[in-house]
């Protein structure tokens, strides 16, 4: 019996430096503001599963906040020609996306009967109204003006979204990077109205095709293209898991925010953010 006690004493001795007096110092909880964070789950019903519903959506919003942080910095880096920095940020975005996708697996443990117990408490609130998701769509180039009306209630938020709506997307700055590299890009694309969703251009298609045909010569642009494909691929997988989770829980009911629910989610699956990068897979 003496040996285990001796080993335990050694371990305790090795950890004598652990801080326990925090009367005047910042703790882990202080740094992360855990008290307000963990106190932000306010259920409107007495149903056990509403806590799951709230936390899943809050966690997703936190991941989206980091996604926006990385995408915004990546757009600036590409615009400045700092490709390696952008690649690191975009790789991180892809990893974040895997976490958000897995969240649907947890939410799918909510059954239709359970959700119906508190769904009416949501009123007209819906994930469709997530402004951070709109900021991600704007950063990727999908611009929809009618969506902005949802946020008129908050002037500061509306101004933030409107600014992002008119700003160049990550694909816009990528097209400019092609032009900087000497490709004959349609000049109108470089000064176009960035509030319009990009629909494709033959000069961009020709430029990306050459990049893929001469990988060694255009290695940075080739890497950029593949990072963009990664992000769109993961986003579409997120959209698909979203659609199937909604169908699994509420079927084809109208969404709480008034959207057509599953039918709307199916429609957005057809949208492509970076059309030429997908088309060249067929034409290359």
Q: Is 83:216 a contact under the CB 8 Å cutoff?
A: no
Residue 183, annotated as binding a ligand: no
- Residue 24 annotated as binding site: no
Q: Provide DSSP, 221-268.
A: HHHHHHHHHHHHHHHHHHHHHHHHHHHHHHTTPPPTTSS-THHHHHHH
pLDDT for residue 201 is more than 80: yes
Q: Is 192 labelled a binding residue?
A: no
Confidence check: pLDDT of 102 > 60: yes
Q: Indicate if the pLDDT at residue 268 is higher than 70.
A: yes
The span from the CA of 172 to the CA of 194, in Å, is 8
Asked if residue 185 belongs to a known ligand binding site, the reply is no
Per-residue pLDDT at 112 exceeds 70: yes
The DSSP element (H or E) to which 4 belongs, if any, is helix 2-14
Residue 242 is labelled as binding a ligand: yes
Q: Is residue 222 a known part of a binding site?
A: no
Cβ atoms within 10 Å, residue 162: 15
212 annotated binding-site participant: no
Q: Is 119 annotated as a binding residue?
A: yes
pLDDT in tens, 46-90: 999 999 999 999 999 999 999 999 999 999 999 999 999 999 999
pLDDT exceeds 80 at position 17: no
Decide if pLDDT at 11 tops 80.
Answer: no
* Contact between 73 and 81 (Cβ < 8 Å): no
What is the band of 257 on the pLDDT scale with cuts at 50, 70, 90? confident
Question: What's the whole-number average pLDDT of the chain?
Answer: 93
- Say if residue 225's pLDDT is above 90: yes
Q: What is the pLDDT of residues 118-149, one digit of tens each?
A: 999 999 988 889 999 999 999 999 998 888 99
Residue 68 assigned as binding residue = no
Q: Write the DSSP string, 73-134.
A: HHHHHHHTT-HHHHHHHHHHHHHHHHHHHHHHHHHTTS-HHHHHTTGGGGTT--GGG-HHHH
């Amino acid at each position: 019996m003496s040996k285990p006690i001796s080993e335990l004493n050694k371990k305790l001795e090795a950890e004598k430096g652990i801080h326990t007096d925090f009367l005047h110092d910042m703790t882990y909880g202080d740094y992360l503001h855990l008290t307000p964070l963990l106190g932000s789950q306010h259920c409107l019903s007495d149903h056990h599963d509403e806590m799951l519903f709230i936390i899943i959506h809050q966690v997703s919003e936190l991941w989206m906040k980091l996604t926006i942080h990385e995408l915004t910095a990546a757009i600036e880096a590409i615009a400045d020609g700092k490709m390696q920095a952008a690649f690191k940020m975009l790789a991180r975005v892809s990893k974040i996306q895997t976490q958000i996708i897995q969240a649907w697996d947890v939410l799918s443990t909510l059954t239709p009967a359970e959700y119906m117990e508190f769904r009416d408490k949501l009123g007209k609130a819906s994930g469709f109204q997530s402004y951070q998701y709109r900021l991600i769509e704007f950063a990727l180039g999908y611009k929809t003006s009618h969506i902005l009306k949802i946020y008129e209630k908050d002037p500061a938020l509306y101004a933030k979204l409107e600014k992002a709506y008119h700003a160049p997307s990550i694909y816009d700055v990528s097209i400019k990077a092609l032009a900087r590299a000497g490709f004959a890009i349609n000049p109108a694309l470089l000064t176009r109205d960035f509030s319009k969703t990009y629909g494709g251009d033959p000069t961009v298609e020709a430029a990306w095709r050459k990049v893929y045909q001469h990988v060694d010569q255009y290695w940075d642009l080739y890497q950029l293209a593949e990072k963009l494909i990664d992000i769109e691929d993961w986003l579409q997988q997120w959209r698909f898991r979203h659609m199937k989770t909604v169908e699994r829980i509420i079927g084809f009911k109208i969404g709480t925010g008034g959207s057509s629910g599953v039918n709307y989610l199916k429609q957005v699956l057809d949208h492509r953010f970076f059309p030429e990068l997908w088309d060249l897979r067929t034409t290359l």
